[in-house]
Amino acid sequence: MLTVGDKFPDFNLTAVKGGPEGLEGPGKSFFEVSNESDAGQWKIVFFWPKDFTFICPTEIAAFGKLNTEFADRDAVIYGASTDSEFVHLNWRLHNKDINDLPFAMLADTKRELSSALGILDKNEGVALRATFIVDPDGIIQWASVNGLNVGRNPQEVVRVLDALQTDELCACNWTKGTETLKPAELFQAA
């Protein structure tokens, strides 16, 4: 699996647009997203195993509710699974929890990106619940993977992004607005 310090793989995938444009239907709802899209921004790329399941929409909706917080931090969200753009669109149309999703849903149908990242479940052949924070230079700064049966906490992704953007030492459970660690001050106190 690719991890912190690795370059995020090059990709070019069809996606369902976020927002109301994503509900217009085939031919209008789809566009291409690549590793060069949204250049200069932080990227939050998260994968779920399958559309039309039970845990996945809870996570996707939770990321959607935090979309403005990510945007305020100059970060764009991309959600992805190995399902097609047609399945993504149908799921959005028929699931009220993700109907108004504000970010793109990437279709990794050939499993090229999930394979390059090393996040395919060996038994099921679908993406694990993987989350990556990628800096504006395309370098992975945080990676987290859950098994198929355990959801993740998108608020923790916001917290980690905040910490990464300070470019300072952040203690356990550090939150934006609190002091970072200052090693010189810590040694003087001892």
SS3 180: coil
The pLDDT value recorded for residue 184 is 73
> Measured in whole angstroms, how far is the alpha carbon of residue 173 from the centre of its chain?
21
Diameter of the chain by CA atoms? 65
| Domains of the chain and any CATH numbers | 12-189 (3.40.30.10)
Query: Are residues 107 and 85 in contact, defined by beta-carbon separation less than 8 angstroms?
Result: yes
pTM for the model stands at 0.95
Sign of the dihedral defined by the CA atoms of residues 24, 27, 28, 33, in that order: positive
Task: Tell me the pLDDT tens digit for each residue of 107-159.
Answer: 999 999 999 999 999 999 999 999 999 999 999 999 999 999 999 999 999 99
Q: How far apart are CA 161 and CA 148, in angstroms?
A: 24
Catalytic site residue from 56, 60, 117, 160: 56
Task: Tell me the pLDDT tens digit for each residue of 15-63.
Answer: 999 999 999 988 899 999 999 999 999 999 999 999 999 999 999 999 9
* Overall average pLDDT of the 161-187 stretch: 91
Give yes or no: 172 in active site: no
Judged against a pLDDT cut of 80, whether residue 79 lies above it is answered with: yes
CA distances from 22 to 30, 90, 91, 107 (A): 7, 10, 11, 13
Judged against a pLDDT cut of 80, whether residue 188 lies above it is answered with: no
Average confidence score pLDDT of the chain: 96
The pLDDT value recorded for residue 189 is 59
Residue 108: CB partners within 8 Å, gap ≥ 6? Answer: 11, 13, 47, 80, 81, 82, 114, 127
Task: Tell me the pLDDT tens digit for each residue of 89-113.
Answer: 999 999 999 999 999 999 999 999 9
